[in-house]
Amino acid sequence: MRHRVGQRKLGRVTEHRISMLRNQAHALLLHERIETTVPKAKELRPFVERIITLAKRGLAGGEPNGRSLHARRLVLRDIQDREVVSKLFDTIAPRFEARPGGYTRILRIGYRRGDSAAVAQIELVGSEFNPNAEGENTDAAQKAKPKGVGGRLRAAAERLRGRKAEEGGEESTPDTAARPARPKREKTGRTDTRGKGKTTSAPRKAGGS
């Protein structure tokens, strides 16, 4: 039975499990939202919240610019990207300064194809992530596109010619009058290369020899 077991092993040895949690915490603090399986999300939640609590203690230390060297070194043990640590101390920790805990939320989003594992989305509370932003951008791009084949052809022709409509003026058209006229070819007996090598000649007059 699972009595007094501190954490889930997740099918990994200790070193691999800690390395995985550090990588997921790095991605979560960088993007403020990731998708993973439900057991991993439940293990990641206390791991990340402990890191955020350390950053909050650094802000409350009263040092210049609200930064604590000791707190930064403690965070750098798990998050070794200095840009992400700066974001943590400058943006994320002040956001949760008046919050006593519960910095993340877990949302179940379904099951993974292949092994049917339960998948969850873990994100920081108060993040600016908009789950419908990608769909809204796609809809706006589709509305901006010209409708119909004729509209697309006109848009392509305007891009190629580089025409710009002027206020009160007419659109410029290519100068066809300046082009020299091609001389007409006389119809004479010649070999028709499009056929099977037959020669064409002028029609004979009726009653001629």
In the predicted model, residues of the chain with pLDDT beneath 50 are 66, 165-169, 171-173, 176, 209
Q: What is the pLDDT of residue 82?
A: 93
Do 115 and 102 form a contact (C-beta atoms < 8 A)?
Answer: no
pTM of the model: 0.59
| Residue 37, SS3 per DSSP | strand
* Close Cβ partners of 48 (under 8 Å, ≥ 6 residues apart): 25, 28, 29, 103, 104
What is the model's pLDDT at position 64? 55
pLDDT in tens, 17-47: 999 999 999 999 999 999 999 999 999 999 9
User: SS3 for 36?
Assistant: strand
Scanning the chain, the segments in alpha helix (DSSP H) are 14-31, 38-59, 69-76, 82-87, 93-95, 133-144, 148-161
CA separation for the pair 94, 97 (Å, rounded):
5
At residue 79, the pLDDT reads: 94
- What is the predicted pLDDT for the residue at 181? 62
- Say what the pLDDT of residue 6 is: 83
Residue 86: φ, ψ to 5°:
-65, -40
What pLDDT does 209 receive? 47
**Facing residues of 104 across strands?**
124
